[in-house]
Amino acid sequence: MRLASRALWAAAGVAWRESFPLGGRDVARWFPGHMAKGLKKMQSSLKLVDCIIEVHDARIPLSGRNPLFQETLGLKPHVLVLNKMDLADLKEQQKIIQHLEGEGLKHVVFTSCVRDENVKQIIPMVTGLVGSSRRYHRGEVCERPPLFLLDTPGVLAPRIGSVEMGLKLALCGTVLDHLVGEETLADYLLYTLNRHQLFGYVQHYGLGGACDDITSVLKQVAVRLGKTQKVKVLTGTGDVNVIQPNYPAAARDFLRTFRSGLLGPVMLDRGVLQSPLVAEP
């Protein structure tokens, strides 16, 4: 279903929210305790490797990266793999690379493991950086030249820089939804899509038009998907069964649809990219 051009024009002219309410959210508790153990294990493993391959989400290329890797820059060869490029809006890819170069990252690869895009660029880049100095570890990934992979669990930084950074990490599935709140996440997603004028959700769910009120959107989504529930309401004449939208179920579907790419490619770090570049000292 295509969104009518009149509806698109009308949506583009709406004054969307300029900011998202971030107060009163305890971002510290979003860091799962078990990750601290994984972080310590990763730190000890860094001593054994010749090159670090850091994998991060291409939708947030500048947010939420573990500062542990920043400490290793200049000490060991480092390749940053920005995966899920098929889900990311990369119109400003060159600006992303410039920002990362400003942080000291010279070797960046955009990949999509699902579509097998650019994945084969990683091993030649690593072997070129490491040269003939290779240690042997479990997990051979290449015979010529012999290359072994020491995998580590994915971990968050112990301190998430800001609430908004935490929300972006959560949208990408890095933080468990229930720790943040599914409806809160859905609201932040709606805020982001509207601010970027990405109205694919209107087409996908067959809504009457774009909207900035998450309650209204989730209500329409729930009705469209048949995600409703009967609730007893006490009235003066007795109990009455009322059909209510299942807002949490609608929020989960909204998030799942975004994460699967059905709402189109998105760059969650667009605001960061608009900030001025800071040159290396």
Q: Does 253 carry a binding-site annotation?
A: no
CB neighbour list of residue 262: distance below 8 Å, 6 or more residues apart: 200, 204
User: What would the two tokens of residue 152 be?
Assistant: 């580590």
The answer to the question of whether 86 is labelled as a binding residue is: yes
Q: Return the closest-CA partner of residue 280 out of 84, 99, 56.
A: 99
- Determine whether the annotation assigns residue 85 to a binding site: yes
Q: Is 84 annotated as a binding residue?
A: yes
Q: What does the block give as tokens for 8?
A: 């698109």
**Residue listed under structure tokens 């410039």:** 98
How far apart CA 31 and CA 180 sit, in angstroms, is 11
CB 267 within 8 A of CB 90: yes
| 246 among annotated binding-site residues | no
Check residue 104 and give left, alpha or beta (phi > 0: left; psi -120 to 50: alpha).
left
The annotation places the binding site at 83-86, 154
- Which residues are documented as binding site for GTP? 83-86, 154
